[in-house]
Every structure is written in structure tokens, then in C-alpha cells.
Amino acid sequence: MRVIRVGTRKSQLARIQTDSVVAVLKDLYPGLQFEIIAMSTTGDKILDTALSKIGEKSLFTKELEYALEKNEVDLVVHSLKDLPTVLPPAFTIGAVCKRESPYDAVIFHPKYAGQNLGTLPEKSVVGTSSLRRAAQLQRKFPHLEFKSIRGNLNTRLRKLDEQQEFSAIILAAAGLQRMGWQSRVGQLLYPEECLYAVGQGALGVEVRSKDQEVLDLVGVLHDPETLLRCIAERAFLRHLEGGCSVPVAVHTVLKDGQLYLTGGVWSLDGSDSLKETMQTTINVLAQHEDGPEDDVQRVGITARNISQGAQMAAENLGINLANLLLNKGAKKILDVARQLNDAH
């Protein structure tokens, strides 16, 4: 029986996410055996530094990619938002699974149960590992202070509950859902309050770009709507040259054949920002056409079984929105944010 080796980070959330993907694959391929191999990444080891300061794009993916390259694993399950928009040429994202909630969620210290960010006392400290969240929320809630908090979900919850430093912390709703901790969510942040990270809530399956067999194997996991939304989001981020050291955020909706993309950039303190929305017509159900472009990668993603025309339209939407913001001065905002972040 052929054994497919699946790489994952060691955290409980990463294991839950990997197990969920493997469970689907086992149902689809009862004749195959799946073995899960867990490993630690740079991002898991450096816990005393803000993510945006480490200055490494592939913080949570590098060691896993190394195992993929060395043929120690055949595929790796990631949170899509951890995967850079430019991957090393040897790798590709062979599947983008159906997205769960892309929103951010606020968890409050037990003494503030029932509150929301607007009602927290003056100078309350809110923990987040994300410049994107801090920049947007600082602007909306100037009475709060935002401070970096690191560690896996269990560690962050413990820091919130057992220490008196944080009044609340902000985490991705999808991770809390997967951990079964929805009951702790005190407030969901919708796009009018806080746009989310590119790819947030979706899982990506990374494989060797030349491994035809595994590409075919995982390709069936692609969720067309999630795929097209995430291609647009990733193209927007890539064209802006944003990473986790600058505040860039998005919101996408696919409805009645129209793909809407809202994207924004912020200064670190949120005082300066640009935000715009564009849309394009997209035919999700268009038949996939076999052609010379069959193996084309779009923002690191290979999806042979989804219409190339629809994928191209999504990618162009992201590029066009990025160009609109760049023409309005986004580069200056991002350059200053980058410099300030590096200097701190």
C-alpha cells in the first residue's frame, strides 16, 4: 500500500488542521495510507520577538519545505495566510481548501466578560501578533493600547487568563473554531471594523511542483470559491510587495458571478490609510480548458481542474486594485511602515 507522508507543524491547531485534511483524503483514497510527520519551525522556536521583526517571510514554512525538498514528506498542510505569495520554484500550493470564517475574534480577560473593544477602560492593553490588526484597531479605538503577544493559541489564552497584562487578545476566528473554543469569543470583528489577512481562514496544501501524482491527488480538495477569492487576495498582496512587516488587509465576496475585492494599507499607527474596492465578472463554473497553460502557477497556486479564465480574472483583479492603491500613494505608506517597523 502506497504511503503518503504529510508534514505539519507541531502545534495543536496545526495538527487539528492537518488531521482534517488527511481525513478527507482517506475518504477519497481508501487504497492509500497516510502518515503524519510533525516538526518545529523557526516561527515556533523564536517566541520572544514580534513576528513582523523577525524579517523572514517563510517563518512557519521553511523547515517543512526543506522536508518536502528532501523527499521526507509528500505534502504539507499550512494555514494559507502563512504561505508567502512567492514560493520557491520547487514548490506549489496544490490545493486551497474551503475557507472557514476569515474574520478576527476578540477574547476578553474573564473580568471583562460581556464587554467589547469600545467599552474597555481607557489604556486597556490588547494583545495581537499582527501589525494589520493593530493599525486598523488603533485608529478605531484610540483609547486602547496594542501590544505584541506570541506563542501558540494555548499559550496566548493562558497569558490572557493567568496574567493581568492583557484585557483582551485578538486571534483568527477560524483557529478558535477548529480548536472548539468558540465559546470564548466575546466579539467578532467584521470588515467594517477590521479587514482580514490575505488567505485567512483557508488551508493550503503545499507539494513539490513537479510531483504530478501528488498534485493530482490533492487537486480534488480545491474549493473553487475559496481558490478564486484567495488568488485575488494573494495577487493584491504580492503586487503591493506586502508581507507580515506591513499592515495590508483584504475582504472578498463572490456573488452572482461578481468577485468583489476590498483592499487596504495602513501606517503602523493607523493614522494614514488607503482603502478601495473593485470588482470583476467571474464564471466559477466555466469548463476547465486543457491547454498549454495547464501548469501555470498563479501566486504560488496550481489548480488544473478550475477554469484558467476565472483564475486569470481573479489574479488581474488583485493586480488592478494594488495598482489603484499604488497610484494613490500606497508605496509611501508601506515604505514608512516598513522603515518604522525595522527601526523599533
CA atoms within 13 A on the CB side of 114: 1
Angle at 293 between CA 290 and CA 296, to 5 degrees: 125
CA distance 181 to 343: 37
Walk across the sheet containing 91-96 and list its strands.
33-39, 3-9, 75-79, 203-208, 91-96
Catalytic residue among 19, 27, 48, 82: 82
Angle at 99 between CA 270 and CA 84, to 5 degrees: 60
DSSP states along 74-118: SEEEEEGGGS-SS--TTEEEEEEPPP----EEEEE-GGGTT--GG
Residue with cell 472548539: 180
User: Does 269 qualify as catalytic in the annotation?
Assistant: no
CA distance 286 to 309: 8
Residues acting as catalytic residues:
82
